[in-house]
Structure 1
Amino acid sequence: MNDRWDREQVLGLAPDAASAKAAGGVAKPAKWDGTGCDDDALWGECRGSGKNPYRACVDLSEPAFRCSCPSRKFPCKHALGLLLLWSDGTVDAGPRPAWAAEWIEERRARADRARERRAGAAAKARDPKTLERREQRVDGGVAELDQWLRDQVTHGLAQAEQASYRLWDDVARRLVDAQAAGLAGQVRALAAVPRKPGWPGRLLEEYALLRLLVRAYRRRDGLPEGLRETVRSRVGFTVQQEDVVREGERVRDLWCVTGSRDIAQDQLTTRRIWLRGRRSGRPALVLSFAVPGRPLDASLVVGTEVDAELAFYPGSQPLRAIVAERYGAAVPAVPDGSPVAGFLEEYAAALERDPWLDRWPAVLSGVRPARPPGERNGTWNLQVVDAEGDALPLLPTDPWRLLAASGGRPVTVAGEWTPRGMRPLALWSEDEGVCIL
């Protein structure tokens, strides 16, 4: 039998604070029938408001989740509630019912087929003629984008302020046709630049970064290897996972899971999971993707630490990684953080290596949330302040959970830093342990 997780590990799987709270409402033995578990799985039927109970099942080896309820969250409150019951020791071992066994066998068969498809796609992508045709298409798309950027600056930014989304979407579509999906995403993001005071300068900065990327790509043969790989990745060239595992830089460490965030876009949900090495102090980003109705990877739980070896994707500032090997089960842990000045030094060094970084993981220790000086009454824009009085602004968000969990005392806060501020993702306090924000 797998070691049963504690309550913090279970709640660390919750996609948001609301799901964690709702799970407590269904984590009651009286609501469940037919619960059971074995070495690899956990199952049960939860009575709800309808005629038929909801069937929930958890594959503990991933973990992965299945529930017959209509929720679009993974895991849903029923799967979390079942895990909480298991954590409390109220779920006994037993044989799998047919419906649970069928789901686990089907998902493992799908995983085998997916590996076979990836292997076939990787072999096709490595074909020299295919690679040559792709390079030619991208070259054409990059040249067209370069001319478009020149035109925007030549004609001025006044028309862009009143322009519709189509101004950028038409260019992005042509880049997709040219197989430069990375550039297409960055062009589409231009439409989201806030129309606030100073907006023309901000848009011009984004144009300049795009032009820098275009020029770097067109001169890629003269770039250092790491920077060349970064530029290719930003343009849209991908590296197969198998190649990363086989050839990527390997780093074994005690990796603390500091935050997780799900982003839904274009019928695809992306989960960003941030890690930090205990010994190396190195940050890492593990991504997983899922179409609607499919679960995301939930094997890395916020608030835990796992002894593992990561394989890093190539680049001048290697950040994205794959978990290549695990050495034991995850355990609850608090990440090592730094004061604000130390974090800013780390971020500046990363930005020097990769000027197109749009986010960077932050773990700040000994900070407390506070309102900025001069903040008007009735507004709740927050910042975090360390013992030296240095502060970082937080992106606008619901302040109450952060304020309640910290209680005004110094805590450890982890989040995503962007040029507009930090989005808090998790908090550790002496009294409450980990709190998902």
Structure 2
Amino acid sequence: MPITFTEQQVLDTAPDDASRKSGKDLASLLKWESTGRSAIALWGACKGSGSKPYQTQIDLQQLAFKCSCPSRKFPCKHGIALLLLYSRSTDNIPETASPAWVNEWIEKRQATQEKKAAAPVTTSTSSAKSPAVRASRVNEGIEELLRWMKDMLRNGIIHLPEKNQTYWENTARRLIDAQAPGLAGMVRNLQDIHYYQEGWQQQFMVHLLKLYTTVQGYLHLELLPELLQQDIRQQCGFTVNQEYLKSLPGITDTWQVLGKQITEQDKLITERYWLYGESSGQTALILQFYARHFSTPAFTLQPGTAIKAELVYFPSVKPLRAVLKEYKLTASPMHFHGMHQWSDVLAHQTDLCSSMPVYPEQLYTVQSLQLVPQQQQWLLMDQQRQLMALKPGSNKLWKLLAITGGHAMPMAVTGAGNYYEPIGVWSNEHYQAL
């Protein structure tokens, strides 16, 4: 069974609106001199402004793109157009033997992956005193952070809505200088609170307590269980060697790619992929970082598709974040698996909190959720009429209303506590990412 994509899934891979429009314009066989496909790849020669056509190729197993055009966008308009033709009907592109330039690219990709898999894991050759130097910087940053927090509370939080961006950003940047980027991110979470929305005080105190608990955990690491120490260090911004993780055995499963969230800070793009394992029932978060205009993503996972993959989790009391060890796209249907109602979500978080007091946002799939308006805000209501708030700043509201028509549907959400962001729904047993 060939791997297929919907037209919306293809358009979602585009880096911007201009690329989507240009890709649609080129998605006509009249603009291609030749096209072809195999079980693992698509290719085509698209007419361009020069004498030679642009050679475009797509790895269907890992959804990777390559094109001979000069565009620095990834994927370029030619890659989007070729995949659009394929998504509309596989018959648009004839199945034939792949040309040498496609074979060379696929073989090179496979060789690179095999080389990475076979490469020995090396440890850092930096000076033995480097960890001590960093620990000293982090401790100094934490001391300054605690003074800032105490001054804030001493002066009263009633004045916080009047604070400008500089108030928060200065503290965040000092923590980055102190090599504690995780704590800087938690300070920026305080900045992002909607301070002119009713009830902001509760949301602020929850975020502040998470920050304080993380700081105290780091200052008393030696008293904590080993895996919880790993969690606290990662929350502060200490990294784990991902090549070492990939050398460990992982969990092989068919993973549903339920959502993708993109954020950008100082031209550094962060992609968050949310996965659900069909056999294991486990959820996973894959993070990918790259600099805008200076690098391209190492991989592209398309929400609404499934991959056969081996994942290795980061060390944690309750593992969530993972790395992809190896993967390929599969034609597995996206059936719903998940919880019945919000009380199941709260039970999971109660268990989570008992061993990991500060935990990141989680992925949940809930059987039947409905968007309902109440007191000038939107809530998600389950079958028992229990309510949870839509995460402030969510940009999925109108698309979700358009898909559901206001009716209850199985839904995938991310979040924690009382706030959640929908990332996809099962409409007529077909999963649609938002």
Does residue 304 in structure 1 map to residue 305 in structure 2? yes
Q: In the alignment, which residue of structure 2 is the partner of 1:184? A: 184
| Deviation by residue 1:224-274 (Cα, 9 ceiling, x = unmatched) | 1121111101111100112222357x3333322221222222212111111
Q: Please list the CA deviations of residues 295-325 of structure 1 after superposition, one character each: whole Å capped at 9, or x if unmatched.
A: 4355533233344332110122211011234
Q: Distance in 1 between matches of 2:390 and 2:202?
A: 22
Contact 1:27 1:81 in 2 (8 A): yes
Q: Partner of 1:80: helix, strand, or coil?
A: helix
Q: Deviations over 1:263-291 (max 9, x none)?
A: 22221211111112223322111111222
Question: CA 1:187 to 1:230, structure 2 compared with 1: closer, same or farther past 3 Å?
Answer: same
**Residue matched to 1:322:** 323
Conserved? CA contact 1:12–1:436, under 8 Å? no
Are 1:256 and 1:333, in contact at CA under 8 Å, matched by a contact in 2? yes
Aligned to 2:359: 357
Does 346-355 or 8-17 show the bigger shift? 8-17
> Cα offset for 1:43?
3.0
SS of alignment partner, residue 124 of structure 1: coil
Tell me, which stretches of 5 or more residues in structure 1 are unaligned? Answer: 376-380
Distance (Å, rounded) in 1 between the aligned partners of 2:398 and 2:300? 29
Residues 1:268 and 1:104: Cα distance change in structure 2 (over 3 Å): farther
Conservation of the 8 A alpha-carbon contact between 1:141 and 1:174: yes
Determine the structure 1 residue equivalent to 2:399. Answer: 401
Aligned positions of 1:277-316 closer than 5 A: 277-293=277-293, 294-316=295-317
Distance 1:48 1:413 in 2: 43
Q: 2:34 maps to which residue?
A: 34
Aligned position for 1:378: none
Letter in 1 for 2:425: L
Q: Which is further off, 43-52 or 270-279?
A: 43-52
Taking the aligned partners of 1:328 and 1:165, their CA distance within structure 2 comes to 43
User: CA separation of 1:186/1:410 partners in 2, compared to 1, >3 Å: closer, same or farther?
Assistant: closer
140-149 vs 235-244, which deviates more?
Answer: 140-149
1:262 aligns with 2:269: no
Deviates more, 1:348-357 or 1:111-120: 111-120
Calculate the TM-score normalised by the size of structure 1.
0.81
In structure 2, the CA distance between the partners of 1:54 and 1:333, relative to structure 1 (3 Å rule), is: same
Q: Give the Cα separation in 1 of the matches to 2:27 and 2:113.
A: 30
- The alignment partner of 2:271 has SS state of strand
CA RMSD of aligned residues (A): 3.9
The secondary structure found in structure 1 opposite 2:233 is helix
Share of identical aligned residues, percent?
Answer: 31
What amino acid sits opposite 2:224 in the alignment? L
Once structures 1 and 2 are overlaid, which stretch shifts more, 187-196 or 411-420?
A: 411-420
In the alignment, is the contact (CA less than 8 A) between 1:64 and 1:295 conserved in 2? no
Q: Contact 2:372 / 2:406 at 8 angstroms: preserved in 1?
A: no
Structure 1 pair 178–36 and aligned structure 2 pair: CA distance change class (3 A): same
Measure how far apart 1:392 and its partner are.
3.2
* Aligned-partner SS, 2:287: strand
- Residue type at the aligned position of 1:138: V
Q: What is the SS of the residue equivalent to 2:239?
A: coil
Q: What SS does structure 1 have at the residue aligned with 2:216?
A: helix
SS at match of 1:143: helix
Which residues in structure 2 correspond to 1:370-385 (within 5 Å)? 370-373=371-374, 382-385=378-381
User: Which runs of no fewer than 5 residues in structure 2 stay unpaired?
Assistant: none
Counterparts of residues 23-422 of structure 1 (less than 5 Å):
26-37=26-37, 41-46=41-46, 56-66=56-66, 68=69, 72=73, 74-75=74-75, 78-86=78-86, 88-92=90-94, 93=96, 96=99, 122-124=123-125, 128-196=128-196, 197-247=198-248, 250-293=250-293, 294-326=295-327, 329-338=330-339, 339-367=341-369, 369-373=370-374, 382-395=378-391, 396-397=394-395, 399-419=397-417, 421-422=419-420
Q: How many residues align?
A: 423
